[in-house]
Amino acid sequence: MESGNRTAIKVKTTVKLRKELGGWLLASPYLAMAVLFFLIPLGWSLSLVFFDWNLISPVRNYVGFYNFREALSSTRVHNAFLNTYKFMAIIVPSVMVVSLGLALIVHHLPRLKQFYAVGFFLPYLASGVAISLVVRGILSYDSAFNEFLRSVFGTSPRWLRDSFWATLVISAMIVWKLSGYYALIFLAGLQGIPRELYEAAALDGAGPFTQFRKITLPLLYPAFYTVLVLAVGLCFGIFTEPYVLTGGGPRFATHTWQLEIYYQAFERFRAGYGATVAVLNAVVTFASILVIRRIVESWGTRRGFR
Amino acid sequence: MFPARRRRSVRIATLYFVATCVLLIMISPYLYMLLQSLAPWREVDRVFFPSSFGFHSYRWLLAGGAAALPRPWLRAWGNSALVATVVTLSRVIVGALVGYALAVLSFRGRRTIQNFILFHMFYPGIILLVPTFLLIRALGLYDTYWAMILPGLVSTWAIFMYANFFRSIPQEVVEAARMDGASELRIIFQIMIPIARPVTAIVFLFLFMERWIELLWDMIVIRDPTKQTLNVLLATMFGPYGGYQGPLYAAGVLLTFPIIILFLLFSRRFVKGVSLVIST
């Protein structure tokens, strides 16, 4: 009896020790990497913004808040700032409509739901570079597509050399890429709506359109909210498509935060200034997402969706 | 047939027709890329459906590309595969180990580590771009494979996913294994990881894809063309190879289709797996 008790205590203490030691041991790879590639760069970025440094010279000039003042008055940064909201105004509503549409299709299919959901998701896997290649090819002056447009309308747009079309093309590429992914969020929402609600509404004489407006849309509020937050956050990180297709042009119409950071830090080798623009980007992103979330949340509460 | 049933079957047939059309539109850029990569060069982009098919674009590419500006395209593909595989495997394994520690082991400091990971996860990565580059250079790793691999060995998101999943597994499973004398590592690798297969599938896929199509970072830290990933090589050859659109499409296929195939292999329980991602 006694020895059994003792082994039980022994097992207990070793288990306790194993948990204490094991916990730290298992977490140690993460902790080591977090110190090296998170905390050190984090500290470095805080000092970097106060210096003017070209990445090579041994001399780093302390410039105080000059980098911030320059960035805040730079038209390049202004363009990146405003373009983000321009992209947002196009991308967020379109991606919501398209992904909800895809989700509705999958939801109403009696069979092969999985097949179509997977198929609609495929664009999410695309490298922005490879898709930019396709878009450049399709939109090149003597492509089959433009020949077709000219044969019908007599003229074809200048696409990527036109501010309006370039913005639209890049937005469309992003909507195409994301909608299959966001459709899965809507699909999960749709599957969570109890059938009885529709049956009751049908008994009350509500047609499919009324049912959609009065039941489906309000109950999808959480899904809309998730998609909104994801899509808004994404608009602040646009890089690949404008980098390879337009270089931010024409006349900065598709210039973005990340393009500006890349250009300043790694093409003009202005490490301090590039880091400063990155800090501004993060602050603007954080503040914008916070404001947009607040607005949508209070709207949702007022309408009773939350 | 009753009219109501007939109306219903017409509706379903329409739905399938619409679904198939939308599906074709969604995958049309892939189909276009594939068709154009096989087309005769004079037809590339000039016709939607080529008159004949051949592998000449691929052969030209794998032979080294333009004589005036040869580039190691096949090697770039290997670089992509190497970097993405090493990084993703490490991220998955570290994710499972740390996730297990956070979810199952109660040790002093656990809450602190958890909160720190959340802070790390939501800290805007863009701020770290320039200083991380400086760090890589200071470590003497600029223009080496390590520059692409080392900073990405750990993913806070993977840790988060595994910790969430392991929390849902009853503690008795672990206790029973401990009573049988299993070590913690053994519990992780022989019990927890096999149970977590749906999480692993989705985490592996998302992280592999993310690493495979990375552009900005790989472009910054690599200058030597023999070390570039395929994504970077394609992006930088956009202009110089502008007259060789067919081979560029072939490179696009080599870049895109491996991920699609990998995904289709993983896709059996995909929709359910993604709900794990969405719910968190």
Q: How much is the pTM?
A: 0.89
Retrieve residue A165's tokens. Answer: 């079309």
Domain B73-279: state its class: mainly alpha
Kindly determine whether residue B151 and residue A37, on different chains, have CB atoms separated by under 8 Å: yes
Burial group, residue A142, by CB count within 10 angstroms (0-12, 13-18, 19+) = exposed
Position A9 scores a pLDDT of 61
Q: Are B57 and B250 in contact (CB under 8 A)?
A: yes
Kindly determine whether residue B101 and residue A26, on different chains, have CB atoms separated by under 8 Å: yes
Chain B residues in contact with A262 (beta carbon < 8 A) = 216, 220
Place of tokens 């060069």: B41
Q: Which of B8, B14, B45, B46 to mutate to test the interface with A (most CBs of A within 10 A)?
A: B45
Cα–Cα distance for residue pair A101/A227, rounded to 1 Å = 14
Kindly determine whether residue A134 and residue B278, on different chains, have CB atoms separated by under 8 Å: no
Cα–Cα distance for residue pair B94/B155, rounded to 1 Å = 8
Question: What is the CB neighbour count within 10 angstroms for residue B108?
Answer: 10
Cα–Cα distance for residue pair A268/A85, rounded to 1 Å = 26
Q: Are B94 and B181 in contact (CB under 8 A)?
A: no
Q: Which of B15, B32, B34, B127 to mutate to test the interface with A (most CBs of A within 10 A)?
A: B127
Residue of B7, B193, B174, B184 whose CA lies nearest to B93: B193
Cα–Cα distance for residue pair A137/B244, rounded to 1 Å = 11
Is pLDDT above 80 for A97? Answer: yes
Give chain A's mean pLDDT: 88
Least CB-CB distance to A19: which of B12, B32, B107?
B107
Question: What is the CB neighbour count within 10 angstroms for residue B239?
Answer: 9
Place of tokens 């892939």: B30
Is pLDDT above 50 for A1? Answer: no
CA distance B88 to chain A (A): 14
Cα–Cα distance for residue pair B10/B2, rounded to 1 Å = 12
Cα–Cα distance for residue pair A186/A107, rounded to 1 Å = 9
- Tens of pLDDT, residues A260-286: 999 998 998 888 899 999 999 999 999
Chain B residues in contact with A131 (beta carbon < 8 A) = 29
- Tens of pLDDT, residues A155-199: 888 899 899 999 999 999 999 999 999 999 999 899 889 988 888
Kindly determine whether residue B234 and residue A130, on different chains, have CB atoms separated by under 8 Å: yes
Least CB-CB distance to A116: which of B19, B46, B213?
B19
Kindly determine whether residue B215 and residue A239, on different chains, have CB atoms separated by under 8 Å: yes
Chain B residues in contact with A27 (beta carbon < 8 A) = 97-98, 101-102, 113
Domain segments of chain B as ranges: 2-54, 73-279
Peptide bond into A250 cis (omega under 30): yes
Chain A residues in contact with B271 (beta carbon < 8 A) = 113-114, 117-118, 184, 187
- Tens of pLDDT, residues A107-151: 998 888 888 988 999 999 999 999 999 999 999 888 888 888 899
DSSP states along B216-253: HHHHHH---TTT--HHHHHHHHTTTTTT-HHHHHHHHH
Nearest CA in chain A to B246: A137
Residue of B59, B27, B56 whose CA lies nearest to B39: B56
In this prediction, the residues of chain B whose per-residue pLDDT falls under 70 are 1-3, 269, 271-272, 275-280
Cα-flanking dihedrals φ and ψ of residue A210, to 5°? -65, -40
Cα–Cα distance for residue pair A259/A76, rounded to 1 Å = 10
Position A111 scores a pLDDT of 85
Is pLDDT above 80 for A57? Answer: no
CB under 8 Å to B195, separation ≥6 — which residues? B169
Q: How far, CA to CA in Å, does A218 sit from each of A292, A305, B233? A: 19, 6, 47
pLDDT band at A11 (very low <50, low <70, confident <90, very high): low
Retrieve residue A201's tokens. Answer: 């509404």
Position B212 scores a pLDDT of 94
Is pLDDT above 50 for A219? Answer: yes
